[in-house]
Amino acid sequence: MKWSPGASRSLFTPRDGDSSRRRREAFLVASSYGAVYGVVSQNGRRLYVVDTVNRTEYALDMSAEPRRLAVTPPVTAVNRRFIEQQLSALAAVYRYRP
C-alpha cells in the first residue's frame, strides 16, 4: 500500500457506503498526543499498537470482545515494517528528513 496525498479518510463508512477498500487494506493510525502508532487491518478486526511513550507493543482482536493476541517476532516485524513504510511515504510527501 502506498500513501498518497488525500488518502486520509475516515475508517467509518455509512451503512450504504463503499467499505470494500477498508476490508482489503491495512491502515496506519496515529495518536496526536505522542509517538503511538497503530495498524488497523482485517476490516477493523485487528489492531496492532506500537506505543513508544510507554515502551510497549500489543495486538488486539476487536471482532467480539476485545482480547489481546500474541505478539510474536514475525507479527512485530510485519507491523513495524508497515508503519515505517507509511511514515516514510508521508515524510517524502512533505520532504521531511529526520
Q: Report how far residue 34's alpha carbon sits from residue 96's, in angstroms, rounded to the nearest whole number.
A: 18
Rounded to the nearest integer, the mean pLDDT of the chain is: 83
Give residue-wise pLDDT tens across range 38-59.
999 988 899 999 999 999 999 9
Domain ranges in the chain? 20-93
User: What type of residue is 22?
Assistant: R
The model's pTM is: 0.76
According to the model, what pLDDT value does residue 8 have? 59
Confidence of residue 7 (pLDDT cuts 50, 70, 90): low
| pLDDT in the model for residue 43 | 85
* Range of weakest confidence among 3-7, 22-26, 89-93: 3-7
